[in-house]
A and B are shown apart, each in its own frame.
Chain A
Amino acid sequence: MRVLIPPPLHSYTGGVSIVPGTGATLAEVLDDLDTRYPGIRFRIIDEQDRIRPHIRFFVNAKMAAGIDQTVGPADDVQIICALSGG
């Protein structure tokens, strides 16, 4: 599985924009990411396990409704930061 990391989170991945991921659900993928990149999960998922308001997850280019969504080893998971600057 590939996980595409958006630029605002590159400080966690050492500047890497695509990292390998493992897990049967997005939640498990995030737990795995947080193990390797401590702190990354809380920046995109709140303490109630909700995706933060300006973050979206896409699995194979289809938007995920929540982190319970199942994923497979051949999937592409893309984390998107919606526009919220200004």
Chain B
Amino acid sequence: MSQTGQRSSRVTVMVGTRKGAFLFHGDPSRHQWRLDGPHFLGSIVYHLALDPRDGRTLLMAAGTGHLGPTIFRSIDWGRNWTEAGSPPAFPKAAAGAAGQDGNNKPRAVDHVFHLTPGHATQPGVWWASTSPPGLFRSEDGGATWKGIHGFNDGVVPEISHTIGPVPGGPIAHSVLVDPHDPAHLYVGISTGGIFESKDSGATWRPLNKGVAADFIPTPDPEYGHDPHCIVLHPTRPSRLYHQNHCGLYRLDRPGDTWERIGRNLPPEIGDIGFPIVVHPRDPDTVWVIPMDGTTVWPRTSVGGRPAVYRSADAGSSWERQDDGLPREHAWLTIKRQALSADACDPVGLYFGTTSGELWMSATQGDSWRLIAQHLPEIYSVSAGMVAV
């Protein structure tokens, strides 16, 4: 048995960047990494996702500075890519219809931000979320996409007055499918908040109790919050965590009030950041990468000393993990989709920086090493388990 605990699998780390996609294929020990790429050099690749249901279908959300958004699909690890025949798009508005994009113009998808494979019992189903906020579903493996009316024409117009000037544009992100119920969904909107559906997206309700939103004049608003990244635990999907613009939170369903577990991080570090990732088997273990959220929100490593923080008790306490990371003068920024965990034992962790560095830990964060540098600005990092 290899140290992965999965005799016939290896890890591929899929990296989306400002200038293309890069695939890092690991050996069984996760020591050597073979770079494959760039794919679509010059394209903006927001996200890549591997379908765990078949271990080979790869979807990529891409665009360029000139061209509109699209989705590419590969079933042979990027040797061939097929473009979606009907990428996510809002319906054509009737002539003279009021718009919903914040400028009172009919909406158009600017970019596809996030891709999520559907439930294990629904092969071929994928979810995509966009900027401006929109939610789309494919039932044919990503070839064609349809908007979710209850979200795009229900939630989004209702909260449109809260959708603020987010850098890079307002986005829907973190589409979560409950492993125990394919109709049970969560979606995050920056800004807008977290929303839950129990009927496959037909109807939604806000799920933001207990979450701070200190940029909104109304105390304890029902929505309008700024979740940066939301995760649920795959084996205990009643356990959710989320990194917010205003702190770090945990929620155990059926409860509906988030607990600010970031208060347990050292005060000098704070609990602001973008990504968060859970241990694939232990619902109590979670990792975050705090960034400076003071003053004008520099969003860089606190004090120029990068560190990952791990909690093994659901956020009650935190351990600093910075062995191998730069000790000083390193002002790293890690975007919300740029931290990922593999399914090995021990768990491997991977994060990418806006300065083009790809870091990994094969020891659950105890030590870190650089596996690539000089890449373009990294937008997303996704670790996938590949059958071999």
Residues of A bordering B, CB below 8 Å: 6, 8-9, 38-39, 42-50, 52, 54-55, 81-82, 84-86
Contact = CB atoms under 8 A, between A and B. Distances in A.
Contacts of B105: 48
Given A48-B106, A48-B108, A42 B66 contact: no
B89 A47 contact: yes
A11 to B, nearest CB: 9
B92 interface: yes
A75 to B, nearest CB: 23
Given A46-B108, A47-B92, A38 B68 contact: no
Contacts of B84: 39
Most A CB within 10 A of own CB, among B65, B66, B93, B106: B66
Contact of A54 (B65, B70, B85): B65
Interface string B286-326: 00000000000000000000000000000000000000000
Given A48-B93, A49-B92, A43 B108 contact: no
Nearest to A43: B67
Interface in B100-126: 105-109
B65 A9 contact: no
B68 A44 contact: yes
Contact of A52 (B66, B83, B87): B66
A54 B66 contact: yes
Contacts of A49: 92
Nearest to B91: A47
Tell me the dominant secondary structure on chain A's binding face.
loop
Contacts of A52: 66-68
A43 to B, nearest CB: 4
Contacts of B24: none
B88 to A, nearest CB: 9
A43 B68 contact: yes
Nearest to A42: B68
A48 B87 CA distance: 14
Interface string B320-354: 00000000000000000000000000000000000
B67 A44 contact: yes
A85 B65 contact: yes
A19 to B, nearest CB: 17
B66 A46 contact: no
B67 A9 contact: yes
Contacts of B359: none
Nearest 7 Cβ contacts at the A-B interface = A84-B65, A46-B108, A47-B89, A43-B67, A81-B66, A48-B106, A54-B66
Given A38-B83, A46-B89, A48-B108, 10 more contacts: A39-B70, A39-B85, A42-B87, A46-B68, A47-B89, A47-B91, A48-B93, A48-B107, A81-B66, A85-B65
A47 B66 contact: no
B80 to A, nearest CB: 13
A84 B65 CA distance: 5
Contacts of A82: 66
A50 B103 CA distance: 15
20 contacts: A8-B66, A9-B67, A38-B85, A39-B70, A39-B84, A39-B85, A42-B70, A42-B89, A46-B108, A46-B109, A47-B91, A48-B93, A48-B106, A48-B107, A49-B92, A52-B67, A55-B66, A84-B65, A84-B66, A86-B65
